Amino acid sequence: MNGPRIALVTGANQGLGRALVEGLAARMNPDDLVLLTGRDRRRVTDAASGTAHLPGTRARVEGHVLDVTDTDSVAHLAEDLRARHGGVDIVISNAVARLLPGESQAARADEFIDVSNSATHAVLRSFGPVLRPRGRLIVVASSLGTLGHLDPRLHHLFDGASLDQVEYAVESWRSAVHHGTAEEAGWPRWLNVPSKVAQVAAVRAVAVERREHDLADGTLIASVCPGMVDTATSRPWFSDHSGARPPAEAAAAVLDLVLADHVDPALYGELVRFGKVLPWHDGTPPVEQDRILTP
């Protein structure tokens, strides 16, 4: 990556996303630009200004309002970066809708799926084509994103699926939740499991198509598991936080992958945790009483 680089993180005004921006701003160069994006103008402005004034910050940091459920805005921002900068070098799709333990998962399904899944599809479709050589397109998923976490009756929907097929599977799941038929079809009540499997499947679908070309020019597309991170979203789900890492620490491990000079072909298109691949077929369906936000 010669010349100034452009990085962008979604859902970045707090939690892991903010720590990713802070880490990028500290580790990138003074003429590089890090776009801190989020859905609320005030929260975005405050977080961008706070990051810009951190002692370790080297790169320029700008806030940009981006509600990831507005797929036209996602496409517009990608096109704008292509027009103004010739593309983008680092994109991290990180946003998630916060669910609390007492809430009905079904009642929050639309928002959750829109923020995690429809938005991931939009980011892959819009930013994939404007990624510059040696670029990085990363989706923050979770260790729950391996296929084995789903009931075997659902595996065919995601295994070897194209992005259109993943999108179809997600919409089938959404519809089953609306109709109250999701559990009998094998979908877990906990939204985070199918959502994360679908994110990893979407990345795999795009990676299969681009692999040869991307590896030739040093580009990486992957999903990542950040491990258990102590954030406002994860905190209500754990009685014991001792295994959760501060966001800055979790972000640093993700950024080691993002900022590595060379792409390891073994990691390309895969779900990566702490530099290692989590095999796609691993995992077992969670029992409902499990605290399944576990990374």
Ligand X SMILES: NC(=O)c1ccc[n+]([C@@H]2O[C@H](COP(=O)([O-])OP(=O)(O)OC[C@H]3O[C@@H](n4cnc5c(N)ncnc54)[C@H](OP(=O)(O)O)[C@@H]3O)[C@@H](O)[C@H]2O)c1
Nearer Cβ to ligand X, position 42 or 213? 42
At 85, the amino acid letter reads H
Task: Please give the span between the terminal C-alpha atoms of the chain, in angstroms, as a whole number.
Answer: 32
Closest distance between ligand X and the C-beta of residue 212, in Å? Answer: 29
Residues that bind ligand X (CB under 6 A): 10-11, 13-17, 38-40, 43, 67-69, 94-98, 115, 140, 142, 226, 228-229, 231-234, 295
Closest distance between ligand X and the C-beta of residue 252, in Å? Answer: 14
Nearer Cβ to ligand X, position 51 or 234? 234
Nearer Cβ to ligand X, position 39 or 134? 39
Total residue length of the chain: 295
Question: What stretch of H or E contains 93?
Answer: strand 88-93
Closest distance between ligand X and the C-beta of residue 170, in Å? Answer: 15
Nearer Cβ to ligand X, position 146 or 234? 234
Nearer Cβ to ligand X, position 13 or 57? 13
Closest distance between ligand X and the C-beta of residue 226, in Å? Answer: 5
Closest distance between ligand X and the C-beta of residue 73, in Å? Answer: 9
Between the alpha carbon of residue 293 and those of residues 177, 218, 288, the distances in Å are 19, 33, 12
User: Which phi and psi angles does 277 have, rounded to 5°?
Assistant: -75, 135
Q: Find the radius of gyration of the CA atoms of the chain.
A: 18
Three-class DSSP category at 102: coil
Q: Beta strand pairing status for 6-9 and 88-93?
A: parallel
Nearer Cβ to ligand X, position 56 or 243? 243
Give which of 174, 97, 288 is closest to 182, Cα–Cα: 174
Please state, in angstroms and rounded to a whole number, the distance separating the CA atoms of residues 108 and 126.
Answer: 26
Q: Which residue is nearest to ligand X (CB)?
A: 15
Closest distance between ligand X and the C-beta of residue 106, in Å? Answer: 19
Chain Cα centroid distance, residue 120: 7
Closest distance between ligand X and the C-beta of residue 10, in Å? Answer: 6
In 218-263, which ranges are continuous DSSP H helix?
A: 247-258
Nearer Cβ to ligand X, position 96 or 157? 96
